[in-house]
């Protein structure tokens, strides 16, 4: 019998993923599969809340599937699937909408930020986004949800909705906990180390994309903004050097003390080169493997098909329970 706790997470297929996404999410997912029953989704329905080019969205969905696998998600042990392939996500979000209040959604930080960023397209889906996310999580009775800081508020809403539903209709949903990874060091922009590393950075030198090759990675690290001293130590007044040290430790699994010792007396130029090479050593094989997988769409389709079938079994068990609790008459079949 499977007695491992269940873990659910999802990533949107909306374009470039960065070194920050890898260190903050994908790398942890790979490690967590050993201790948890992992369910990983490609949140394509969430991506529709901002305008998408249909052809690009389709391409990005395959890219993300390949990336999950290239990063070590084992599609046999874990479940990997596309959110829109399991229609229970949309169905449960309707039910959850009936116990969620507009005020809870309009005060979400991300909704406010995205409304500002997409003034011409503040659609209902953008506001309802956290309810769909709650449906994602609650359908699988997930115990744990690894999320970044920006998703904590949404996870809080998932918990509130689970508790509210359970109180109103009786025990139905597991109330999920946020899982904050160990290596939580924030990865900052290489061009402005006071800002988070982001794919939407206008300065392309600020972030490392999973699609950067070795030369591009090394070049970006060589240009990383530092300071005018020459000491390689982690210190608040040295955000650039501190960020590079954090990145170096994250990709090499060395401790900070080890890293500081290694670079004692070395120049910034040498240091930046070493960090760039260490990052390339991790990212390059992933990019190559991802691109190799993308040559074989049939294989990816097959994996996603079986992932959806496995996910669906769990999801519909929950959805049927929910429909029954709220008083919907079950459809007779056969
Ligand atoms: N909103 C998440 C993000 O952009 C992606 C996501 C969708 C998610 N559904 C989820 C994450 C369920 C955790 C659990 O990062």
Residue 155's pLDDT band (boundaries 50, 70, 90)? very high
Whether residue 23 is predicted with pLDDT greater than 80 in this model: the reply is yes
Whether residue 184 is predicted with pLDDT greater than 60 in this model: the reply is no
324 included as an active-site residue: no
Residue 147 or 62, more confident:
62
The mean pLDDT of 217-239, rounded to a whole number, is: 95
Whether residue 187 is predicted with pLDDT greater than 60 in this model: the reply is yes
Evaluate: CB of 145 within 6 angstroms of ligand 1.
yes
CA distance 301 to 279: 30
Q: Tell me what the pLDDT averaged over the chain comes to.
A: 94
Instruction: State if pTM tops 0.85.
Output: yes
Signed CA dihedral, 60, 19, 287, 25: sign only: negative
Using DSSP's 3-state secondary structure scheme, residue 224 falls into coil
Using DSSP's 3-state secondary structure scheme, residue 266 falls into coil
Would you say 279 and 208 are in contact if contact means Cβ atoms under 8 Å apart?
yes
Tell me the pLDDT tens digit for each residue of 61-85.
999 999 999 999 999 999 999 999 9
Mutate to test the pocket of ligand 1, among 64, 133, 199 (most ligand atoms within 8 A of CB): 133
Other CB atoms closer than 10 Å to residue 20's CB: what's the count?
A: 21
Tell me the pLDDT tens digit for each residue of 274-329.
999 999 999 999 999 999 999 999 999 999 999 999 999 999 999 999 999 999 99
Cβ-Cβ contacts under 8 Å for 187 (sequence gap 6 or more): 18, 19, 20, 23, 24, 196, 197, 243, 246, 247, 250
Give the dihedral of Cα atoms 148, 21, 8, 88; nearest 10 deg. Answer: 100
Whether residue 25 is predicted with pLDDT greater than 80 in this model: the reply is yes
Evaluate: CB of 212 within 6 angstroms of ligand 1.
no
Residue 198's pLDDT band (boundaries 50, 70, 90)? confident
196 included as an active-site residue: yes
Give the ligand 1 atom nearest the CA of 43. Answer: 7
**Pairing state of beta strands 177-179 and 37-42?**
unpaired
The alpha carbon of residue 306 and the mean position of all alpha carbons in its chain are separated, in whole angstroms, by 22
Share of residues in the chain with pLDDT > 70 (%)? 98
Evaluate: CB of 21 within 6 angstroms of ligand 1.
no
Please give the pLDDT value at position 3.
83
> Nearest 5°: phi and psi at 27?
-65, -40
Residue 87 or 2, more confident:
87
Using DSSP's 3-state secondary structure scheme, residue 208 falls into coil
Residue 196's pLDDT band (boundaries 50, 70, 90)? confident
CA distance 301 to 199: 27
What distance in angstroms lies between residue 167's CA and the mean position of ligand 1's atoms?
Answer: 25
What distance in angstroms lies between residue 191's CA and the mean position of ligand 1's atoms?
Answer: 27
DSSP 160-176: HHHHHHHHHH-S-S---
Please give the pLDDT value at position 78.
97
Please give the pLDDT value at position 292.
98
Whether residue 11 is predicted with pLDDT greater than 90 in this model: the reply is yes
What distance in angstroms lies between residue 219's CA and the mean position of ligand 1's atoms?
Answer: 32
Using DSSP's 3-state secondary structure scheme, residue 203 falls into coil
What distance in angstroms lies between residue 129's CA and the mean position of ligand 1's atoms?
Answer: 9
DSSP 51-89: ---HHHHHHHHHHHHHHHHHTT--TTTSEEEEGGGSTHH
The mean pLDDT of 192-208, rounded to a whole number, is: 89
114 included as an active-site residue: yes
């Amino acid at each position: 019998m499977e007695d491992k706790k269940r873990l659910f997470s999802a990533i949107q297929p909306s374009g470039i993923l960065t070194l920050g996404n890898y260190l903050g999410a994908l790398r942890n997912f790979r490690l967590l599969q050993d201790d948890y029953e992992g369910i990983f989704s490609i949140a394509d329905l969430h991506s529709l809340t901002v305008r998408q080019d249909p052809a690009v969205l389709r391409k990005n969905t395959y890219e993300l599937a390949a990336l999950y696998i290239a990063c070590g998600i084992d599609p046999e042990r874990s479940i990997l699937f596309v959110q829109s392939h399991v229609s229970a996500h949309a169905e449960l979000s309707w039910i959850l909408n009936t116990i969620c209040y507009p005020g809870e959604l309009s005060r979400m930080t991300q909704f406010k930020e995205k409304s500002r960023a997409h003034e011409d397209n503040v659609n209902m889906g953008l506001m309802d986004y956290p309810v769909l996310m709650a449906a994602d999580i609650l359908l699988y009775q997930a115990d744990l949800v690894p999320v970044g800081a920006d998703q904590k508020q949404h996870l809080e809403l998932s918990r509130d909705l689970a508790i509210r539903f359970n109180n109103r209709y009786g025990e139905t949903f597991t109330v999920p906990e946020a899982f904050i990874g160990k290596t939580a060091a924030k990865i900052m922009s290489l061009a402005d180390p006071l800002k988070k590393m982001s794919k939407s950075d206008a300065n392309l030198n600020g972030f490392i994309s999973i699609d950067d090759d070795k030369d591009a990675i090394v070049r970006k690290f060589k240009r990383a903004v530092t300071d005018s001293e020459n000491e390689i130590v982690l210190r608040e007044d040295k955000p650039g050097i501190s960020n590079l040290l954090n990145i170096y430790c994250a990709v090499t699994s060395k401790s900070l003390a080890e890293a500081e010792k290694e670079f004692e007396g070395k120049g910034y130029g040498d240091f930046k080169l070493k960090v760039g090479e260490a990052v390339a050593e991790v990212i390059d094989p992933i990019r190559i493997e991802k691109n190799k997988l993308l040559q074989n769409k049939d294989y990816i389709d097959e994996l996603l098909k079986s992932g959806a079938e496995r996910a669906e079994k769990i999801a519909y068990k929950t959805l049927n329970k929910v429909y029954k609790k709220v008083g919907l008459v079950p459809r007779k079949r056969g």
